[in-house]
Structure 1
Amino acid sequence: MSLNLIKLCVGCDSVEDLEEWIVFRLDERRRAGEPVEQYHTTRMVPTRAAEIVDGGSLYWVIKGSVQCRQLITEIRPFTDAEGIGRCHLVLDPIVTRTEWQPRRAFQGWRYLKPADAPADLGKGRVGWAEMPPKLRQELAELGLL
């Protein structure tokens, strides 16, 4: 059974912001002649990496709610220029929207069991995902999403 991670998406106000950032970074890497892949750098290396890369995802908390996820394809530990151990969470660049699930702020990442993860948005809720981000946020703050 796969295991997921959950992390705050700092600097993004919406899933659309995250998607734009991913496209921008992939284009930057392409222009620089680097491998065209998306990854997120984190200091702590998950000890349960084998369970995570076996179908696990990184669930993003945006503005106080889990709103989307990305499949984790690889976990690459490395040592940075200052000698600090870190790792790259290599992600599938496709962002899958999920049902909104409120989350309090926390530092770093946490493990997220599949049973505790929000469900992907089904076809019946596509219109909800197309709703303007500000309206979705206001409805979530009112407890209506």
Structure 2
Amino acid sequence: MTRVAVGCPDYASLEQRIAMRAEGGEVRFTTRFKPKRADELIGGRLHFIVKHMLVGRVEILRFDERADGRIDIVCVANLERIHPQPKRAHQGWRYLADADAPKGLDEGGGIGDLPPELYRELAGLSLI
């Protein structure tokens, strides 16, 4: 699944937001409707869009119904940095096919520290 990280100007602010909202190793993201494919999404990833780029993901643990009729997407409170990939912004969430999901970054490679704009330019030149 993909979701826009509204109000987050960069990966660091998204990481900070998730850390601040974490309780017991879990973080909750509220949505109006439960996905029809919720059962197959458990164990999958929720990818975040920042400035029209997929930049990070968290593992989906479950979907909880709330008293107000909304749904909480309960995820592991550990944001994983991924290879930035262009993605148009949208409202709510959208399904993301496994084949279209970006790969995680290798630890210690330094590529994850590049700003998304620089990464996009280097990838366009086939340098990374």
The structural deviation recorded for 1:36 is 6.1
Identity within the alignment, %: 37
1:121 Cα deviation from its structure 2 partner: 0.9
Hey, which of these two has a bigger chunk of helix by percent? 1
Paired position in structure 2 for 1:37: 26
Give me the whole-angstrom Cα distance separating, in 1, the residues matched to 2:73 and 2:37.
13
Contact 2:54 2:87 survives alignment (8 Å): yes
Q: Which residue of the partner structure matches residue 32 of structure 1?
A: none
Say which of 33, 52, 65 aligns to 2:41. 52
Please give the secondary structure, in 1, of the residue aligned with 2:58. strand
With normalisation by structure 1, the TM-score equals 0.76
Equivalent position of 2:116 in the other structure? 137
- State the distance in 2 between where 1:107 and 1:86 align: 16
Give matches, 1:1-145, under 5 Å: 5-26=1-22, 37-53=26-42, 55-80=43-68, 85-123=69-107, 126-131=109-114, 136-140=115-119, 143-145=121-123
SS of equivalent residue, structure 1 residue 119: coil
C-alpha separation between the residues in 2 aligned to 1:44 and 1:51?
A: 16
Q: CA deviation at 1:79?
A: 4.1
Unmatched 5+ residue regions in structure 1?
30-34
> What is the CA RMSD across the aligned residues, in angstroms?
1.9
Which 5+ residue runs of structure 2 have no aligned equivalent? Answer: 124-128
Q: Which amino acid aligns with 1:91?
A: C
Count of residue pairs brought into register by the alignment: 123
Structure 1 residue runs of 4+, over 3 Å off? none
Q: Output one character per residue of 1:43-101: Cα deviation in whole Å (capped at 9) or x when no partner.
A: 12111111011x21100011110011000001112341xxxx31000010111111111
With the length of structure 2 as denominator, give the TM-score of the two structures: 0.85
- Distance in 1 (CA, whole Å) between partners of 2:4 and 2:74 is 16
